[in-house]
């Protein structure tokens, strides 16, 4: 039997006035999922404004009244997003926070920061406790804690939304932002080879960071393109700190057959390498070229300014938060967040 047409002023909702409207009715009429309707009811900031207005209009038309008990369950989690990190470079952490805050501004979400020690025996328990205590909406995991599968498993167990930022893919696409650090090492190698360098040293980061291996892998790939290989005698392991870069560079540049160029795994170590070169009476780049990684503020403030690999950490942080909140940016899958070479005065032709 055909449904009775609506009278003047009555919306054609398809919901009988004798039956109480349900959340399923609202979802059907608004053309969205029941979960999205629930988010609007509970004032979640993760719903697009146009979608929110359409759902609210349907709620008014149908006279839908949410179940107070069901609504209470939705508030078990707060509008807090956690940043979990164990990175020794403070500028990385600051830039990541700024990016997260860029995306969260005006959303109703707030940021909670949690430093941790990946080497701790209680790492997993500490992170679980932090999330449950704060009732977090979700978390952003940064290297190297993002590379720990035990931590990701905890996220799944307790039902916490998460995004992992890592140099390679370590999870499903919906939980990942891949920085592809290997491409940065490749760009550094190609740049130095184009300047005529054949004896290139490498100061790596901490061995427990996947980024250290990926940046070295890219360097070796670039050297192989030029018919070269990485001499083990020209490799030193640093700790992503200024002091470790200074110590490693001092050792490499004191060799009888020293490198004519050094690629450091981050800008802090590259700045330390600049200092070591001056200590030894060497001119940069006339005697030795130095290339860093990250393009943080220090890269443009040392002398000579560092040639480096730019990684848009702040942008990556913004992308991570947008993805976590369900407002994924259109450029999340684009190449706009991948490493690129920035040439400054610390690199030049190989000495003859």
What is the per-residue pLDDT across 223-273, written as a single tens digit (0 to 9) for each? Answer: 999 999 999 999 999 999 999 999 999 999 999 999 999 999 999 999 999
Q: How many CB atoms lie within 10 A of CB 220?
A: 18
Helix (H) or strand (E) holding 161: strand 161-166
**139: nearest Cα among 325, 340, 345, 330:** 325
- Which residues belong to CATH 1.10.260.40 in the chain? 1-75
- Which residues belong to CATH 3.40.50.2300 in the chain? 80-179, 181-315+328-342
pLDDT of residue 5: 42
pLDDT of residue 74: 47
pTM of the predicted structure, to 2 decimals: 0.76
Question: What does the block give as tokens for 156?
Answer: 């799944």
Domain 1-75 annotated CATH 1.10.357.10: no
End-to-end distance of the chain based on CA atoms, in angstroms? 93
Task: Yes or no: say if 144 and 213 are a contact pair by the CB < 8 Å rule.
Answer: no
DSSP state of 187: H
Q: Is 236 helix (H, G, I), strand (E, B) or coil?
A: strand
Residue 2 has pLDDT above 60, yes or no: no
Class of domain 80-179: alpha beta
Residue 19 has pLDDT above 50, yes or no: yes
pLDDT of residue 23: 87
Question: What does the block give as tokens for 38?
Answer: 């629930």
- pLDDT: is 342 or 160 the higher one? 342
Bridge-based pairing state of the strands 200-204 and 261-264: parallel
- Write the DSSP string, 298-350: HHHHSSSPPEEEE--HHHHHHHHHHHHTT---TTTTSGGGS-EEE--TT--PP
Q: Which fold has domain 181-315+328-342?
A: Rossmann fold (3.40.50)
**317: nearest Cα among 142, 159, 150:** 142
- Write the DSSP string, 68-134: HHHHHHHTTS-SEEEEEE--S-HHHHHHHHHHHHHHHTTTS-EEEEEE--TT-TTHHHHHHHHHHHH
pLDDT of residue 225: 96
Residue 7 has pLDDT above 70, yes or no: no
Beta carbons within 8 Å of 179's beta carbon, 6+ residues apart: 165, 166, 167, 211, 311, 316, 337, 338, 339
Integer Cα distance of 62 and 27 in angstroms? 11
Integer Cα distance of 4 and 16 in angstroms? 10
Lowest mean pLDDT among 61-75, 93-107, 123-137: 61-75
As a whole number, mean pLDDT of residues 296-303 equals 94
- pLDDT: is 9 or 67 the higher one? 67
């Amino acid at each position: 039997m055909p449904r009775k047409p609506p009278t003047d002023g009555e919306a054609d909702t398809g919901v009988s006035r004798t039956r109480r409207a349900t959340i399923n009715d609202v979802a059907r009429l608004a053309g969205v999922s029941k979960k999205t309707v629930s988010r609007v009811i509970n004032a979640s900031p993760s719903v697009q404004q146009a979608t929110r207005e359409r759902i609210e209009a349907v709620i008014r038309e149908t006279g839908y009244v949410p179940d107070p008990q069901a609504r209470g369950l939705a508030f078990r989690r707060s509008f807090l997003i956690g940043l979990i990190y164990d990175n020794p470079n403070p500028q990385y952490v600051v830039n990541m926070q700024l990016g997260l805050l860029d995306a969260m501004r005006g959303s109703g979400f707030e940021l909670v920061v949690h430093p941790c020690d990946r080497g701790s025996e209680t790492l997993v328990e500490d992170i679980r406790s932090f999330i449950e205590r704060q009732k977090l909406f979700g978390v952003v995991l940064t290297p190297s804690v993002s590379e720990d599968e035990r931590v990701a498993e905890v996220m799944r167990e307790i039902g916490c939304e998460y995004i992992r930022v890592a140099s390679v893919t370590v999870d499903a696409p919906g939980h990942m932002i891949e920085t592809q650090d290997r491409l940065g090492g490749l760009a550094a190698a190609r740049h130095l080879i184009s300047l005529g360098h054949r004896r290139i040293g490498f100061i790596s980061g901490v061995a427990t960071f996947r980024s250290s291996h990926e940046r070295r892998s890219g360097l070796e790939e670039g050297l192989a393109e030029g018919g070269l290989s990485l001499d083990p005698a020209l490799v030193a392991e640093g700790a992503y700190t200024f002091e470790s870069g200074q110590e490693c560079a001092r050792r490499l540049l004191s060799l009888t057959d020293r490198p004519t160029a050094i690629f450091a795994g981050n800008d802090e170590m590259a700045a330390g390498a600049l200092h070591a070169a001056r200590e030894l009476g060497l001119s940069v780049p006339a005697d030795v070229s130095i290339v860093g990684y990250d393009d943080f503020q220090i890269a443009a403030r040392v002398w000579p300014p560092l040639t480096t690999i730019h990684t848009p950490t702040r942008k990556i942080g913004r992308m991570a938060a947008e993805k976590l909140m369900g407002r994924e940016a259109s450029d999340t899958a684009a190449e706009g967040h991948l490493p690129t070479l920035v040439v400054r005065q610390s690199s030049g032709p190989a000495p003859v």
